[in-house]
Structure 1
């Protein structure tokens, strides 16, 4: 898990960006343009902002519409400035807190004809009232702002339902905060992202949102340990000069056991880690500190107390292992020397090359799909035999999840089903009805075991999708994989039109291989788990990436990329990848 700010956005260019902020060619020119820095209360970044201004006297329809669109990024005082662009009746009825649409303003601007003004544009995503992001495709807005005259000035009589934000405005004005809940079946915390206006995002709003609980979609996989009815007992979560955040809670929390108090403290500590000014957290009820097991003498806690609830590793130099000419071996990070592993699939290999391999995160064993793609096997370095785990048809490259379970997908035609075998060789019963009529071409189970990202193929389209992993109801064994959500990402970047592969790089972020067209080279992109915040990470040109191997970590990125020519590239920084091996057909990365 990471406490770093997740609000990183692509730099879109200042000149084009200021126009896109309002979604039109003209923006109000009466407000000051200032260099701003992220507030101490807000996970943000340095940037150039245009301060929204009230409507000037005798403003034209163009200025009224542009000013209204721009001022929707200013939530202070219940969007007071934005309401000044509306008629009195419209200002009373408009509900900016109901959600938002994020639209493509690159070639779509308001159209003003005489005294009328409208906006037609494709919708990239929607935000619900809680700030949860949902990519969409095939939807558009068609607004008529109903320009009318009130007291001698032009005003808008028909505002949209909720907010309307260009992608640039959303990128500049919103920050992303991970709310952490407790897994129903695992000892892990599970994040859910919300996008909040930077101007009002602070520890108080984050804790309030956390107390409201997870979305209905995630609720089947997690629990909010806070008792029903728990709320903040004062208006603010205070942060002192030493970085101690005091969270005043209502008396319901006094009913919790020691273990439950530790869980809620972990949820809050990880959530508030998004705010750099918070270093430690203290909980109070009625002004008296709440005892948290393991807390410091001053009754404060930090994320360091709850590292056991994170499924992520911390490793700057993981071990790189590859399948080269049918032989599994280790690659030296410094010299690139390939050293075959001991045993049947390493130095003693003499059979057909496996179709897919994956290594357990700590390097303890391998999951292997044989050349026929009909058998899932396990193998330990040094062993002269493999063990049969399961069989199927058209098995995909396997994955060994955080708990040591070996996963693959059996694909027959346009039907897919998950296969998972635990480290005790017990077959996990998985119900995934939504995939019975879908063709999966790649998948990756999240490190907290609450989600699985899949790439779905439908004729020529390949789209990223997310499913949740939840326990079955009624005490039946196994899990249900459902809640399929497709992420159509091409609206935010045309390079994300076709998705080839996916892997988790942290608790909140993925890396995908994507391309603009079937003939375009594959390139890696870093995206948030909800499909927001897509960012190209290179290599820039001359390379066609076809697959990835990732090792989720808490403090950086561990990724290997395989090219169509068999080269393995290791991620070092954005746009900087280093070649570490060649003549490779499969790879794994472990501690």
Structure 2
């Protein structure tokens, strides 16, 4: 950040107190900040081990303005639940009106801090303005929703010297908090809340479909209680129009409840206010399902939840098995088979649990396994009963049953694109049984959906589309879709919300597109790889091709990227993250990546691998 403003220094917190089981440790490394001239770098607070909480120091007596600024910025990155220490650097009025929970601005590095030009005269001796500057990376809003951001950040912080006490304090500052990317990663963690799709149910069972809504919470500040409060508040604005919550409006934790945590049997009790007192058993089960799905990705060992009403009255309880029968959850649906095209362009399958050694793929039952049409790409329905296949030249889309006596009828969609690359994309199924495909014909590009895979193709409107769709993958939940969109020779990965109004009869639309991989400018392959995660193959600006996991909100995931693989043209993943990643490489054919291993060959002549979806 020092490069963001000439003569400035980037702020990186360095003075805080870390409390662990073994005791208290002072994290030193502070540097002074003069009232004028250049500022020296301040070393960043080291990454803390799990369980270590970091607390800031209050202002020292007669602290100079530079020390007030440094101490305040350090306090923003501490684990102080209500930012009480940070408020001690503010005047009483500023402390009362400051709302740190309103937003978090994430910068590439810690903010540069430089004194602003000061007017001459007596008043200048008792006031001082600092400028915080940097390059924005992201923002987190009041709903805890993350969004990538760019451009310059610049805000002023004003200090005044109290006439009576003689102490410097901040009396004017921007709302929210600001910190560098490293400190953000140390202080915050991504957790997916779960709601239910408003217009999607599982085709075969009618179960409601769970939808993930990722948010960022402060990782060491009562995280379970934070997540529960966020879930009860409702979905983020982006997802809200297409999901519902089973919690009655106004439901909240009982007044004074904090410190929620599973007991020694990994069961969690959640006390609710009177708004939830009269829910029926079925609705209470859905409420508990939302809680269990949400909390298990924060505390994986959680076994069950119990909801309590006023006076400690038990409303319902639910374990993992009960939750999985109450709602359809994509990441819990382990596919039976991996599918791909063999050297004869027939559809073949391999059991998901097969090791690949001594196990060969076999043609699927039905016409596409018999080779009645040579294929270029396929998609298998979530129940693994139906397949959609695009023929070898990309012109026609066929839908057929995976039954031995199935037959192949006429194509359900045909493209008039002149060149094969300007015709149909790989198709994609959602959990409701609807089939999606894009026609890349530059003279009439369009996104299409077919109800249950056999209905008349319906054109989907995409009002904010910034280019031409090159690839499409609909999420299992049927309310989000991932698109690779090309413009001016660059391909970007975008996520859109699927809007449906069945009562009005209007066509479905994909709205409010947002970037899932803002730093990739050439996306050559992608697949859903979790309820709120995708895997993408692409090229960074000025970089090399790489494979990485990305969140639907555009945030960077912790953890290692998949092992490198050259010449990747297609990628397949399952929402069940236990299932191996599979790819098609020009050099090696169809390969897969078991957990803890290197890429293994599955079929040298195979292409177009897919899991159901």
Report the TM-score, using the length of structure 2 for normalisation: 0.78
Report which structure shows greater RCO (CA 8 Å, sep ≥6): 1
Unmatched runs of 5 consecutive residues or more in structure 2: 1-8, 24-47, 118-127, 202-207, 418-422
**How far did residue 198 of structure 1 move?**
2.0
1:84 matched to 2:83? The reply is no
Deviation of residue 528 (structure 1)?
2.1
The equivalent of 2:323 in structure 1 is: 306
Shift of 1:516: 1.2
Per-residue CA shift, 1:494-526, capped at 9, x if unaligned? xx34333321112122111122137x5432211
Match of 1:12 in 2: none
Distance 1:456 1:102 in 2: 27
Match of 1:179 in 2: 193
Distance 1:473 1:345 in 2: 33
For 1:199-218, list aligned pairs within 5 A.
199-218=220-239
Change (3 A) 1:424 1:375: closer
Match in the other structure for 1:434: 463
Q: Is it true that 1:131 corresponds to 2:160 in the alignment? A: no
Cα distance, 1:336 vs structure 2:
6.7
Once the two structures are superposed, the pairs formed by residues 223-242 of structure 1 within 5 Å of their partners are 223-236=244-257, 238-239=260-261, 240-242=263-265
1:64-463 paired onto structure 2 within 5 Å: 64-74=68-78, 76=80, 78-105=82-109, 109-111=112-114, 117-137=130-150, 139-150=151-162, 151-185=165-199, 186=201, 187-236=208-257, 238-239=260-261, 240-273=263-296, 274-276=298-300, 278-287=302-311, 289-292=313-316, 300-308=317-325, 309-312=327-330, 313-315=332-334, 318-330=337-349, 333-335=355-357, 338-339=360-361, 341=363, 344-346=367-369, 348=371, 353-380=374-401, 385=408, 387-392=410-415, 393=417, 394-413=423-442, 416-423=445-452, 425-427=454-456, 429=458, 431-434=460-463, 438-463=467-492
Distance apart, 1:162 and its partner CA: 0.9
Q: Distance in 1 between matches of 2:560 and 2:443?
A: 32
Of the three residues 551, 555, 560, the one matched with 2:582 is: 560
Offset from partner CA, 1:108-151 (integer Å, 9 cap, x none):
643468976433222111111121111123x3211233355444
Matches of 2:393 and 2:59, distance apart in 1: 69
Quickly say closer, same or farther: Cα 1:544–1:63, change in 2 above 3 A: farther
Displacement of 1:267 in angstroms is 1.6
In structure 1, runs of 5+ residues without a counterpart are 1-22, 38-43, 293-299, 491-495
What SS does structure 2 have at the residue aligned with 1:304? helix
Structure 1: distance between partners of 2:531 and 2:84:
37
- Whether 1:483 and 2:495 are equivalent positions in the alignment is no
User: Which of residues 528, 541, 545 is equivalent to 1:517?
Assistant: 541
Once residues 336 and 561 of structure 2 are traced to their aligned partners in structure 1, the CA distance between those partners, rounded to angstroms, is 21
CA distance, structure 2, for counterparts of residue 228 and residue 455 of structure 1? 37
Of 369-378 and 269-278, more deviation after overlay is shown by 269-278
Q: Which residue of 2 aligns with 1:570?
A: 592
**Is the aligned partner of 1:581 residue 2:567?**
no
When Rg is computed on C-alpha atoms for both structures, the one with the higher figure is 2
**1:310-356 deviation line (CA, Å, top 9, x unaligned):** 3324549843533435343345642276545166544546x6x4332
Q: By how many angstroms is 1:483 displaced?
A: 2.4
**Aligned CA distance change for structure 1 residues 155 and 582 (closer, same or farther; 3 Å):** farther
CA RMSD of aligned residues (A): 3.5
Q: CA deviation at 1:574?
A: 6.8
